[in-house]
Structure 1
Amino acid sequence: MRLFYSLLLLTLNTSQSYAAQSYAAQIALIIDDIGYRHSDETVLALPSTVTLSVLPHTPLGKQLAKTAHEKGHEIMLHLPMQALNGKTLGLGGLTNTMSEAQIRNTVIDAIDSVPFAKGANNHMGSLLTQLDNPMLWIMETLKQKQLYFVDSMTTRFTKAGDKADQLGVPLLKRQLFLDNDTSASALEKQFSVMISQAHIEGNLVAIAHPYPETIRFLKANLQRLEIEGIDLVPASSLLSIDISPAGGTNPTATLR
């Protein structure tokens, strides 16, 4: 009888362990703002499951995108959009003074400047993402080019998600910024919040930047996710559809 209960307990523990593995939490970590600084090349030392979002028309962007793709990273376009604080956007920036044709052409040129981009997210955009027409034109262009969109959520009044859903553009939303403060204590605090939130919600989209402090922290700490039973996955893995050319797209895709 004692042997029977021992075997039963072993079976239950094995089943629970298998279930935990089958339903592991997932984190998509996006490093954006890539393309201007030679120090941005340090992102290539991160695991290939980290997604890299590259600014358009930057001195290093095209080559970094190619090299990162060869190393297995998923590539995104970091699309500059007008902010409420009036910060300079750089090449490929989208503003509220642009016509529909200008916005569409600028988005297409930006996509063409970043090889292998599968998705896009907004760089800044606290002003532009609040505007219906510009976001509609942007999402229509992304749909035409078969790119998904990650709303960086730089304003709670963003219309980006509404327009993406309206048009059937596969959509994710940023849930956490990792490195608004790059001090060691702040990075550790946000990393711990990221882990806790991923366990609670099942999956999570986090955004960080190629700051030297951030890269050093991630290189030293990303292995903690596996210990926590969390899978680090490319951003597109969190979409509830297959966005590969053979897979097509589902018009109701959102973060699952």
Structure 2
Amino acid sequence: MSDSRQNQPPRWPYYALAVICCITLVALFCVLTSAPDKKNIEPMAEMRAPVSAASLPYEERLDAPMEEGVKRIDYAILRALQDAKVSTSDIELIAIEQQRFGDETFHFQQLRINSKYNADELVTPIATALVQWSDKANLTKLSGTMYRVTFNDVETHLLKFNQTDGTVDPNKIPATLDIGGHLTIVIDDLGESISAAHSLASLDYPVTFAIWPRSSYAKEIADVASAFSREIIIHQPMEPMSADAKPGPGAVYVDMTSEDIRATLRANFKLIPGAVGLNNHMGSKFTQNREAVREVALEAKESGFFVLDSMTHAKSVFFNEAKRQGLIAFRRNVFIDNVKEVQSTLHQLKKAERIALAKGTAIAIGHPYPTTLLALQEWEKQRNGRVAVVKLSELLDF
């Protein structure tokens, strides 16, 4: 009888495959058991990893309908006058006054428009632009040369039209350049563009650098600021109202424990060499929570920092709580680039100038948008010589 094993396939490949599988499993076990516990990883090394594009913070919509409406009206007026060939230098912000509407504050403005055109020739394009940019704005005639703009039936702008023959009015030339106000410009969201940092540092006036602590180039941009003697603050991400807005890595949230909030802040503070203060990135929800901002204030106090409340919500208590805890604290007056357009940004800078002249000091916040950088460079040539641009920490001296 023949041996049936002669017709069976050889078994050695199965043995070889089994040995390979065993070796693979042993190797995998060794790798897993020898890998460091994530809890024991040095947190600094983890946080300095490059930030992916998907995790970058985004701006939240300013939760201030009145302020947003005023800025839209500003832009509509400027756009209409620009299209009518009225020079920016002929649009004068002659007065500004902070007013309150509900929980919000906004800036009522008086504008004088000097041009070869009469009021009737300019009112039509302004009215058209207002309809395009704000369905809640209305333009009302008060006299042959004066018009009022309202938003939600609240007066926001008074327009005075002055028809000229093109000659320079000697009364418009300032008789003196004595300093009448002090202005600080803070640029938020720095950390992802070294070239933007260099552009800001090279301006002939100081701007304060607000740097995301866990951004890709946080330390490098801090080094640029230090090299040019620019003041540095930490742009601390905080929880916004909208779940769709992403504050980014290193953010603090109202449901975190006090210990977690402070540990997150301490880790962030270590990432920005030379920082002397902090302000909030987003934070419309977080800055309304007194217990949460108290932890931020206490940790900032231990580091010797001052605090700037960016006022991303009208009901923010960040400034008041920081003052209550004995910190030096400031709050923002103007966002200069809600509308990403050069002429609009220039107008907001002039608004900040006027506030500084009226109140003695003012704080304006912008972002490293290309249009903002262009506006800041243009403002160098035309800014009011009676307004000194100073570091944020210097405002207390005035």
Which bracket does the TM-score occupy, shorter chain normalised? 0.7 to 0.9
Determine which of 35, 46, 54 is the counterpart of 2:191.
35
CA distance in 1, matches of 2:380, 2:356: 14
Q: Which of 220, 226, 243 is the matching residue for 1:63?
A: 220
In structure 2, what is the Cα distance between the partners aligned to 1:74 and 1:193? 23
Question: What does residue range 4-19 of structure 1 map to in structure 2 within 5 Å?
Answer: none
Report the TM-score when normalising by structure 2: 0.53
Matches within 5 A, 1:89-238: 89-225=247-383, 227-238=384-395
CA apart distance, 1:48: 5.4
List gaps (5 residues or longer) in structure 2: 1-174
Residue 276 of structure 2 aligns to a residue in which SS? strand
TM-score (norm 1): 0.82
1:46 is displaced (CA, Å) by 2.5
Give the C-alpha shift of residue 239 in structure 1: 2.3
In the alignment, structure 1 segments of 5+ residues that lack a partner are: 1-15, 241-255
RMSD of aligned C-alpha atoms? Answer: 1.7
Distance in structure 2 (CA, Å) of the matches to 1:50 and 1:177: 14
Is the Cα–Cα contact under 8 Å of residues 235 and 280 in structure 2 kept in the other structure?
yes
Comparing 149-158 with 40-49, which one deviates more in the overlay? 40-49
**Distance of 1:210 and 1:122 partners within structure 2:** 16
Whichever residue aligns with residue 378 of structure 2, its letter is A
The structure carrying a bigger strand percent of its residues is 2
2:274 partner amino acid: F
Contact 2:205–2:389 (CA under 8 A) maintained in structure 1: no
Aligned pairs, number: 222
For 2:336, the aligned partner's letter is: L
The Cα of 1:151 is off from its aligned counterpart by 0.4
d(CA) in 2 for partners of 1:158, 1:176? 15
What do the CA deviations read for 1:207-255 (whole angstroms, capped 9, x no partner)? 0000011001101213433x43110000000125xxxxxxxxxxxxxxx
> Equivalent residue of 1:222, what SS?
helix
Tell me if the contact between 1:48 and 1:72 (Cα under 8 Å) persists in the aligned partners: no
Per the alignment, residue 81 of structure 1 pairs with 238
- 8 Å contact kept, 1:139–1:163: yes
Do the aligned partners of 2:352 and 2:363 also contact (CA within 8 Å) in 1?
no
Q: CA deviation at 1:109?
A: 1.0
SS of equivalent residue, structure 2 residue 355: helix
% identical aligned pairs = 27
Does the Cα contact within 8 Å between 2:201 and 2:207 map onto a contact in 1? Answer: no
Which has the higher Rg, Structure 1 or Structure 2? 2
